[in-house]
Amino acid sequence: MANIRGTNVSDILNGTVENDRILGLGGNDTVIASIGDDTLDGGAGLNTADYSGLNAVITFESGQTVRKRGRGTDLVRDIDIIIGAEGQDNTISGRSTRDSDVPSFNNLLSFDIDLSEDRLTVSGVPGEGDVDFIVQNFVNVQGTSRDDSIVGDENDNRFLGRGGNDLLVGGAGNDTLKGGTGNDTLIGVDLSNPNSGPQIDTLNGGFGSDVFVLGTADEVFYNDHGREDFAKISRFSTNFDKIQLSGSIGDYTFSDDGRQIFERETNDLIAVVKNGLIDSDDLIFV
């Protein structure tokens, strides 16, 4: 085991191929992560764990551990910035798979994440409350057992809300959103520019009474790119789930089997509902 200590000023600390214990002490330190089962303690200051050179998928779990696929697991303390490798399917997860000798408080946590701003707040951390992170080059999120807010970016994001009543917003890109249990709200588009597509988002509410948002009072979503831009609702439970649309029912047409929703004026495909058979009772208009 390698023991690596910084100083009271800002240091760059390089991990080794051994199982390292790295302590930054003072200053704004950067730890260059390596393989092995390491402990990274940034100490005081604004500290960074940089995994960009590892060229491996990482999973940042519950604000406590970093799984390096096939290359070890790191325990992180007093780390403020986590940088993954570009082009990898890096994941933020509220479900920890770390060893049983590390205390777990997953059932207390919730996430507020905006990948477009590289921002993660973990709430409910015992003794600390809210803990903020900067997270770079993450694409996928698995939420907690509580109520989460998860917002994506221009990448093809994959979100799983898990428990709680979650808000999942995919943003631009071809996103896959799955609510899990609870009463979830699923939005596939970037709310600041909802018709920037084309994009095809897959929305699955899971269990509970879920709302699939396909428009607001201001705008119809998926309305500018014909058949190349729509929401694919892969699981819809009539009498439980709702589809939110802009305007009124007269603004839309529906296929005979109830599987497809079109904007009447443009004839743009707005959504495909896998199990079909939707009727007016399944719709909310704003």
24-27: long-range contacts (C-beta < 8 A, 24 or more apart)? Answer: 24/78
Q: What is the pLDDT of residues 87-117, one digit of tens each?
A: 999 999 998 665 544 455 667 899 999 999 9
Count Cα atoms within 13 angstroms, Cβ side, for 111: 34
Q: What is the dihedral of CA 50, 53, 59, 64, to 10 degrees?
A: -30
- 8 Å CB contact between 243 and 282: yes
Average pLDDT over residues 35-58: 97
Yes or no: say if 222 and 251 are a contact pair by the CB < 8 Å rule.
Answer: no
Q: How far apart are CA 283 and CA 211, in angstroms?
A: 9
Burial of 92 (0-12, 13-18, 19+ CB in 10 A): buried
Q: What would the two tokens of residue 115 be?
A: 């990948």
In tens, the pLDDT along 102-158 reads 455 667 899 999 999 999 999 999 889 999 999 999 999 999 999 999 999 999 999
Q: Percent of the chain beyond pLDDT 70?
A: 96
CA distances from 194 to 173, 188, 213, 228, 250 (A): 11, 9, 11, 14, 22
Closest by Cα among 89, 73, 8, 84 to 36: 73
pTM recorded for the entire structure:
0.94
